[in-house]
Amino acid sequence: MNIVITGASRGLGAALARHWAAPGVDLALIARDAEALQQTAAACQAKGASTRLATLDVRDAQAMAAQLLAWDAARPFDLVVANAGVTAGTRPDGSFEGPEAAARVIAVNLQGALNLVEPLLPRLTARRSGRVVLIASVAAFRGLPDSPAYCASKAGLWAYGESLRPLLALRGVGLTNVAPGFFASAMSDRFIARQPMKMSAEAAAARIAAAVARGAGRCIMPRRLGWLLRGLELLPAPLADRAVRLFRFHVAD
Ligand SMILES: NC(=O)c1ccc[n+]([C@@H]2O[C@H](COP(=O)([O-])OP(=O)(O)OC[C@H]3O[C@@H](n4cnc5c(N)ncnc54)[C@H](OP(=O)(O)O)[C@@H]3O)[C@@H](O)[C@H]2O)c1
Residues 58-67: tens digit of each pLDDT: 999 999 999 9
Residues 137-177: tens digit of each pLDDT: 999 999 888 889 999 999 999 999 999 999 999 999 999 99
DSSP secondary structure string for all residues of 81-143: EE---------TTS----HHHHHHHHIIIIIHHHHHHHHHHHHHHHHT--EEEEE--GGGTS-
Distance 158 CA to ligand 1 centre (A): 16
- Give the CATH number, domain containing residue 55: 3.40.50.720
CB 179 within 8 A of CB 221: yes
How many domains, the chain?
1
For residue 81, the SS3 value is strand
Q: pLDDT-based confidence at 104, cuts 50/70/90?
A: very high
How far is it, in rounded angstroms, from Cα 206 to Cα 144?
27
Residues 19-52: tens digit of each pLDDT: 999 999 999 999 999 999 999 999 999 999 999 9
What are the strands, taking DSSP E only, across 50-138? 50-55, 79-82, 131-135
Distance 204 CA to ligand 1 centre (A): 13
pTM (predicted TM-score): 0.96
**Ligand 1: which atom is nearest the Cα of residue 191?**
3
150 catalytic, yes or no? yes
- The CB of 183 under 6 Å from ligand 1? The reply is yes
Range of the domain at 29: 2-251
- The CB of 222 under 6 Å from ligand 1? The reply is no
Q: Which of 20, 150, 182, 183 is catalytic?
A: 150
